[in-house]
Amino acid sequence: MDKKQLTSRERMLLTMEHRETDYTPCSFMIFSALKRRYRDDWKAFIDAQLDMGLDAVAVMPRLLCAVHPDVKITEWKEHPANSPYPVLHKKYDTPAGVVKTEVNQTRDWPHGDHIEMCSDHNVPRSIKYHVSAREDLKSFRYMMLPPTAEQIRVFREESAGIRKYAAEKGILVQGEMGVLIDFMIRFSGVENLVFMAMEDPDYFEEYLSMFWNWTMQRMEVVLDERPDLYVRRGWYENMSFWSPDMYRRFIKPYLIKEAIWARQAGVKFGYINTCAYMQIIDDFMDIGIDALIGVDPVQDHQLDMALLKQKIGNDICLWGGGNGFVTIEKGGEAAIRREVNDAFDILAPGGGFILSPVDNVTISTDEVFGKVDIFIDAWKKRRCVN
């Protein structure tokens, strides 16, 4: 193939396969600041990235969760005298019992007087989590049903439109992110989940199995739509929370199965893990990951990029090399250019590298977008392989 004729999709796939490309791609793993500018117009969001020269990715729609039709939901708000914040309550009456959750409605709470069933914002504000004891699982199962036929129909219809637009633009299609620990933490809290695994591993295994069966039912639907890349969230699946032995016992076996499922469907398997994973990079090789998404040279204080490249960079595509929050949002031009150059010097040799700020660029000001332009300019000065 003539390298000059590569589409962005071809470039990204060849990079993940460690094959020759025309140049090293740059694809932002998350770009909230730009996305907010276009609100729900995903086409405009893609086009804006393409106008910047980036290797944009078209992401399939969210596959909605299904709750048993007999579950009755009640929400209310109280103002306890001993609390600086109002407390929001939510109760799910299920055929097997009651599930309750309570959160502090802090000043920065984004959901009004409502508690989203599954939100990152719940975790640091929760007083009572959905699942806090083993007996809660019996009721919680009624809130973890596979997608309904109607939800699947809508998902497939919307996915078809996204795939069509991606084909027109020649860009990669990414399936909805798979989950396990990341979502379990939203329902049980970080400390509770870790102590559960240490003190009652049988209970933790039962909870894990229930959640994994739920996520695999969703993964099956996503893989049926044949995205180019299936991404598994693993922000909370690292040594900031788990020991290597716990990771290998509780998390790794499920990841192996997911990677096999993706491979059998002809879909690349990407794994987001952004810090404290150097102790388990050999395990990443065992799992069968195609792309490790989130190589962060700033906020991952345990990262050794040279060692990472040496040990797995010839087999697993490394996606990252920059930092969004510290370097782009808060740094100066010299720091931004130095970071891009370091990433190319260490991660690019031999291929298998996609440049991105990790995790996200969130601030939508002209100043920050000017720094994004510097990051992109530094990439363009280094991106050509030959």
Residue 385: the pLDDT is 62
Helix (H) or strand (E) holding 351: none
375, 51 contact by CB (below 8 A): no
Tokens of 119: 């939100």
Residue 40: the pLDDT is 82
| Cα–Cα–Cα angle for 342, 343, 346, rounded to 5 degrees | 80
In angstroms, rounded to a whole number, what is the distance separating the alpha carbons of residues 364 and 371?
11
pLDDT < 70: residue spans in the chain = 1-4, 385-386
274, 324 contact by CB (below 8 A): no
The neighbour count for residue 255, using CB atoms within 10 Å, is 23
Please state whether the peptide bond connecting residue 359 to the residue before it is cis, i.e. omega within 30 degrees of 0: yes
Residue 4: the pLDDT is 64
In angstroms, rounded to a whole number, what is the distance separating the alpha carbons of residues 303 and 276?
7
Residue 3: the pLDDT is 52
Residue 30: the pLDDT is 96
- Residue 101's nearest CA partner among 119, 84, 85, 83 is 119
In angstroms, rounded to a whole number, what is the distance separating the alpha carbons of residues 367 and 74?
44
Residue 152: the pLDDT is 96
All structural domains of the chain with their residue ranges:
3-64+146-382, 72-130
Residue 386: the pLDDT is 47
In angstroms, rounded to a whole number, what is the distance separating the alpha carbons of residues 290 and 269?
5
316, 287 contact by CB (below 8 A): no
- 343, with CB counted inside 10 A (0-12, 13-18, 19+), is buried
- Whether CATH 3.20.20.210 fits 3-64+146-382: yes
Residue 176: the pLDDT is 82
